[in-house]
Amino acid sequence: MPAHRILIADDDQFLRDLVRQKLGMLGYQAFLARDGVEAVRRAYETRPDLIILDMKMPEMDGFQTLSRLKADPELAGIPVLMLTAARGEADVRNALRLGAVDYVAKPFQLDAFCERIRRILDARHQAPEPVQVLL
């Protein structure tokens, strides 16, 4: 099975490189974007299995980027994990309402973060449980 493709969109180069390096060590193929506009473009180019999206970015913030991704039928099915310093309850609710599947606040523990990524990808690629009818 080919490596899962993950798009990391964050304006912090150190964080992008850190997460990319860790994901590479785990066998994932990572792509990078510096802002929301580049993230949407790279999502079309790479068709990732998961997008990691920062909230505060230049050009187009995380909410705008998430809204654009989820409004496009070609990209709407890609799960988005928010990774951001924004910790407010309203931010979390808004991200989940817009279609994010998970929300991780910075600073974060890298190994636990990677475990969340694995679970999201596993859930996406598992066959649905058969429906049981009880009579």
Look at residue 132 and tell me whether its pLDDT is greater than 80.
no
CB atoms within 10 A of CB 27: 8
pLDDT at 131 over 50: no
Q: Does residue 60 lie in a domain region?
A: yes
Per-residue confidence (pLDDT) for residue 133, from 0 to 100: 45
Domain carrying residue 78: 5-125
Residues 56-86: tens digit of each pLDDT = 998 899 999 999 999 999 999 999 999 988 7
Percent of the chain with pLDDT over 70: 90
* pTM assigned to the model: 0.89
List the CATH number of the domain containing 69: 3.40.50.2300
pLDDT of the residue at 125: 64
Does residue 33 fall inside a structural domain? Answer: yes
Tally of domains within the chain: 1
130 found inside a domain: no
The answer to the question of residue 131 being in a domain is: no
DSSP-derived 3-state class of residue 122: helix
On whether residue 133 sits in a domain, the answer given is: no
Residue 67 forms part of a structural domain: yes
In a domain, 134, yes or no: no
Residue 123, helix vs strand vs coil: helix
d(CA 103, CA 120): 12
